[in-house]
Structure 1
Amino acid sequence: MLTEALQRTHVEVMIEWPNVTASGQRELGLKPEELHKSKCVLGFFPVIYYSVLLCVGVPVNILTAVALSRLASRTKKALYYYLLAMTGSDILSQLFIIFVGFLLETAVFHREVPTLLLHSVSAAEFAANHASIWSTVPLTVDRYVALCHPLLHRQISYPARARRIIAAVLVLSLTSGLPFFWWSDMWRSSHPPTALDAVLTWTHVTIIYFLPCSIFLVLNSLIIHTLRARQRQQCGREELGPNTAPHRRLGKTTAMLLAVTSVFLVLWAPRTVVVIYHLYVSSVHRDWRVHLAYDLSNMLAMLNTAVNFFLYCFVSKAFRGAVRDVLLLRGGPLHPRRALPQQQAHINASSSSLYSGSNKRWRHLTGPRELSSRIPSLTDWKTEGIVLRESFCLPRLNLTY
């Protein structure tokens, strides 16, 4: 009895510390790579975190998509189509990466799924992730052209072109996810990283972080430089006279762009560092500290798929109004308000009377003296110009974004 109790105690100790002796390893049937495998220090916290993030992020992004669809139909601006593409890509990332990758494969099935399915889901995860990040690049380029080249922006920025650009970005993102079918499972791979792992890792961090962040930093720097130059020019004009320079300020759309790109730069930086560290220094499979850092960095990176809604609400009054209409089930006008037939007839009558009065006045001019006495003053011409502009609804060139 005492011998059996000692043996049972010895087995319990070996279960808790499986790498004590070689004989215990053989008794438990554990492989050498399983004995040195790093443990998940966070326990069930990642499962709770991703469940909450999924339950909050998916409804919020669906609400964002509906509100942006209304704004895009109402205003016909390319900006809302780019934001709608970002929102749709975030929904795909939440479904493939959080729901399928982290919750189903890792938490429910413990990655005990067929290898073909595991690699297929990995390729879909990378494709959705690339689409989520690269959908922000056309928005950044659009805002740069709008601020630095406003006349060119009015020629090249329209909904049809925006939809073509978005379709091209989605196709390229799906194509870029195919090589990651051979992505190595960091939690299960006990062997050192191979040359293929190094190529895929550097391709991943370049596509996911270094290349888009370089574009963001360059274009945002040019935008900020342009805004500061205009501000200095405005200050110089105000010194010459109080009414010589129009009031310029940082547009809400530009502020929203800077906020979205800044949040992305901050949230995705830790994961990029950990992936490179795993490749060259220490493995996630063997070091519990790298395992912990990789878990935390993934949590921060996935948080980026659910924060854009709150940034839009904080910055844009039009977006808040659209969200309010959706929540209150109010169908706002999808198209701009048009003039009624009576109002249009009144406008035509007033414009025709204005032209007829001008023609009669000029028809009775007979001499130089009478010509000088009958020429309208500068105030009259300004008044008539205002009436004409309001009558024919001439578009005003608005260069403030």
Structure 2
Amino acid sequence: MNMTIEGFSNSTLKDILQNILGFQPMGLPILITITAIYAIMFTTGILGNALVCVVIVKQPNMRTATNFYLFSLATADIIILLSGIPLELYEYWNNMLWGLGEAACKMRMYVLEIASYVSVLTIVAFSMERYLAICHPLHAYAMSGLRRASRIVAAIWLVSIACAIPFYIITRIFDYYVQRPESAIEKLSTCQMEFVKLGSFPVFETSCVVFFVIPLSILLIMYTQIGLVVSRRKNIGESQNNASSQKPVIMMLSAVVVSFFVCWAPFHAQRIFSNYINELGASPEVNQWLYIVTGFSYYISSTSNPILYNIMSERYRNAFKTLICGYKRPPSLPTSPISPTSETSMTNFGKFA
């Protein structure tokens, strides 16, 4: 879309950006701070998720159905960090103007949306495996296997690719030609969304409901059921080892649910807020700072997952140590959170990894 804007005879770039985008250029100290934080998240996130993928591939005992989901999640997180942080920093340093062409503009949003959906759906999928293992172990045993997990992961990616198409359609380059008497015509390009292309279809609202509200509700329901089942087993005097061995699973699911809400709620809230900012009469600067703050929470979701694995899962800690330092855990008697069956059976679904 091209638009000619006149009447900026005595205006600076700051004034023009404020009138066109509602964007207030950030000072150098703020830019440096944001860049430093993003650089830390980018480095730790890429390194951590790459190590998760390598550990799962290299360690035979890590090749379980659950870890197949985690491999997909780590891949999605890497894509989010690679396609998101560098280009977002580019925009910040370029006063939110875009000079990389429409193809890069569209693909950036499309790829980010795909990876975000994959991340959310994968969290729900492997949490469902935990739920079945603890609440319906016989059903989980009958449905176990890498082939089933691979089909679910493939379906997740295909659904995400399809559901992200509306964001590819509405994302485009907006060219603003600014005429100032003391200089030639100046073109300012931005990478934004044009909602008129999809009529009155609520793109942001639908994305929020389908990929945040519903998944969060499912996670909360499953986690509540798991807590009730474990508590009931403990109360009726079931094996103490069996009950206590479920604690890491419950702690992990708790961390997943809390992390999911904390990281994704601000992101969706800001996107919906930005769509109604004019109706609400809010200041553009408020939306700008919400965009910056929620950007941190969005990328933290991709950075924190490997940290959660290490904190909550002894198996992952040992696998990382083996990969990095050549550490090998001393042999010990195998334990199972569900039953004393073999590692290739439903015990894979009774622990986090």
Bin the TM-score by the shorter chain: 0.7 to 0.9
Select 1:54's aligned residue among 36, 42, 51.
42
Q: Which of 1 and 2 has greater Rg?
A: 1
Contact kept, 8 Å, 2:31 with 2:93, in 1: the verdict is no
- Cα shift at 1:196: 4.3
1:328/1:27 CA distance change after superposition, 3 Å: same
Contact kept, 8 Å, 2:105 with 2:171, in 1: the verdict is no
- Cα shift at 1:38: 2.7
1:319 alignment counterpart: 316
Q: Distance in 2 between matches of 1:118 and 1:276?
A: 20
Q: Distance in 2 between matches of 1:160 and 1:173?
A: 20
Instruction: Deviation per CA, 1:18-52: give whole Å up to 9, x if none.
Output: xxxx97x3244879863432314543432222222
- Which of 1 and 2 has higher RCO (CA within 8 Å, sep 6+)? 2
Mapped pair 1:233 → 2:221: no
Q: Distance in 2 between matches of 1:55 and 1:177?
A: 27
Alignment of 1:303-382 (within 5 A): 303-329=300-326
Mapped pair 1:213 → 2:196: no
Q: Distance in 1 between matches of 2:97 and 2:64?
A: 46
1:163 alignment counterpart: 150
CA RMSD of aligned residues (A): 3.7
Contact kept, 8 Å, 1:58 with 1:91, in 2: the verdict is yes
Amino acid in the other structure paired with 2:73: M
Instruction: Deviation per CA, 1:132-189: give whole Å up to 9, x if none.
Output: 2211111011111101110111110111111111111111112222210134589958
Q: Distance in 1 between matches of 2:212 and 2:271?
A: 12
1:285/1:184 CA distance change after superposition, 3 Å: farther
Q: Which runs of 5+ in 1 are unaligned?
A: 1-21, 238-243, 333-392
**TM-score where L is the length of structure 2:** 0.76
2:140 alignment counterpart: 153
1:264 alignment counterpart: 260
2:271 alignment counterpart: 275
Contact kept, 8 Å, 2:23 with 2:288, in 1: the verdict is yes
Alignment of 1:72-91 (within 5 A): 73-74=60-61, 76-91=63-78
Contact kept, 8 Å, 1:40 with 1:288, in 2: the verdict is no
Q: Distance in 2 between matches of 1:316 and 1:31?
A: 50
Alignment of 1:72-111 (within 5 A): 73-74=60-61, 76-99=63-86, 101-104=87-90, 106-107=92-93, 110-111=97-98
Q: Distance in 2 between matches of 1:120 and 1:135?
A: 22
- Cα shift at 1:90: 0.7
- Cα shift at 1:75: 5.3
Give the share of equivalent positions with the same residue, in percent: 20
**TM-score where L is the length of structure 1:** 0.67
Q: Distance in 2 between matches of 1:98 and 1:153?
A: 38
